[in-house]
Structure 1
Amino acid sequence: MIKVLIVEDDPMVAEFNRRYLEQVGGFELIAVAPSVADALQILDRQEINLILLDIFMPSMNGFDLLAQIRKLGQGVDVIVVSAACDSQSIKKSLRYGAVDYLIKPFEFERFNTALAAYRDWVTMTKGQEKLSQAELDKRLLHPNPLPVLNELPKGLTRNTLKTVWENIQEMKERSFSTEEMANRVGVSRVSMRKYLGFLTEIGVIEMEVIYGSVGRPVYQHRCIKPENNLIKRYF
């Protein structure tokens, strides 16, 4: 089992990450640290293989923890989980050795992809002294490149995408949930998540997460470029 430490000062987000982690096999949550200081104490006492790390926290931030880990030469990997989407934060995290970067809010599919890729890498390199170029490329090359122009990802159809887009435009910039759009179009929520994920990737809609008083967070989507001609290339 890969031993995981969640470093997150927002209790609701930490719980959200914990629940997602439970759904991915091969990982064991060791602790949740609300601050960098607490994380350093846990790292001093416990064996940790992977940290799910927020960047912006009171006092010391995630970059401070990354720097300290590298300074001490600790063999722990880090996946950044942060709302920071500016290029400087992303570049800095990667320079400090983060193995992946998840921008909040994100859905389970992206979280699962990151954790599964890391787990596969750990499994592949365990006990191996040397790797082939093909094996190395599985880790270094991005597993999910952006769609080729005019080419839809596997499982998506042009007619359904057009119907989804027409319904989104009817919303007149009002936010909507995956379930609401699935009901309007007449497809499953699983299928609708794929279409909305694609539209988010090409930059015509955006997603935000809304935290209620109880239960899991709710994802809302909103059209940000209703007149964008890019989407028409895929019809």
Structure 2
Amino acid sequence: MIKVMIVEDDPMVAEINRRYVEMVGGFSVMAIAHCSDEAFSLLRKDEFDLILLDIFMPGMNGIELLMRLRRIGKGADVIIISAACDRQNIKKALQFGAVDYIIKPFEFERLNTALLAYKGLAGLMDGQDHLSQAELDKCILRKKEPVSAHLPKGIDKNTLKKVCDQINTLDQKLFSTEEMAGYIGISRVSMRKYLEFLRQKNFLKLELIYGAVGRPVYKYRCNSAESKIIRQYLDQ
């Protein structure tokens, strides 16, 4: 299990990040710190594998904390999650060893991609003494696997085309499983299979939506940049 600390001064954002992390298998949030001093105190008492680190915080900012950790030899890996999008902060974060940099606001899929890449690299590092170039490239460059020649069992090409066509008419608006099932005229259970397939192929993004009252809900949004991946399934 990968032990995670979240360093974020906004309690609501910290809680959302915690929920996101724990949606990804193999990660456990062991601590949440709301400032760099609190984070440094926790790091003196315990070891963490990964820190999700904000930059703009009261007192010592995130970049200063990262620099301090490296000066004293703390080996925890760091993913920056910050609204800071200027070249100076990004360059410093990468120079001092941040393994990824996510700009707020972000979607779950972006963090999911970062965590899975980190998990893959951590697994390689722990599992063997020597690595091949291909193994490193797969994690560091995040090269995509070739598309399978066949659709998964239970996914019909004609129905998939109808679902994709309907999604494209929504112009990247959010929608639920129930809404899409109503559009296509199939059951919610069947629709979930199609939407999860499309999410796994990065055609869809899954977002956690908080309303004024009640429990948060998950909704999908089209990632049009990845449409060519799905087209390969529909054209086969």
CA contact (8 A) 2:207 2:221 kept: yes
Aligned length: 220
User: Using the alignment, how far apart are the partners of 1:51 and 1:215 within structure 2?
Assistant: 28
Structure 2 CA distance for partners of 1:106 and 1:117, relative to 1, 3 Å? same
What TM-score results when the alignment is normalised by the length of structure 2? 0.66
- For the residue of structure 1 that corresponds to 2:9, the secondary structure is coil
Task: Say yes or no: does 1:17 pair with 2:20.
Answer: no
Aligned to 2:61: 61
Specify the SS of the correspondent of 1:136.
helix
Matches of 1:169 and 1:23, distance apart in 2 = 27
Moved more, 5-14 or 206-215: 206-215
Query: How big is the shift at 1:14?
Result: 1.5
CA RMSD of aligned residues (A): 4.2
Asked whether 1:105 is paired with 2:103, we answer: no
- CA–CA separation in structure 1 for the residues paired with 2:46 and 2:73: 15
Instruction: Give the 3 Å change call, closer, same or farther, for CA 184–129 of structure 1 in structure 2.
Output: same
- AA in 2 matched with 1:188: M
The Cα offsets for residues 159-205 of structure 1, whole Å up to 9 and x where unpaired, read as 7788667656766x7953344456435673564466588568xxxxx
Partner Cα separation in structure 2 for residue 220 and residue 210 of structure 1:
10
TM-superposed CA distance for 1:13, in Å, is: 1.9
Distance 2:163 2:84 in 1: 29
The percentage of counterpart residues that share the same residue type is 46
Instruction: Return the alpha-carbon distance in structure 1 between the equivalents of residues 21 and 136 of structure 2.
Output: 26
Q: Distance in 1 between matches of 2:11 and 2:214?
A: 12
**Contact (CA 8 Å) 1:2, 1:49: kept in 2 or not?**
yes
Give a deviation string over 1:85-130, Cα, whole Å, max 9, x none.
Answer: 55554444323221123343312x4433322332232222126443
Unaligned runs of at least 5 residues, structure 1: 148-153, 201-205
Q: Which runs of 5+ in 2 are unaligned?
A: none
Structure 1 length normalisation: TM-score? 0.67
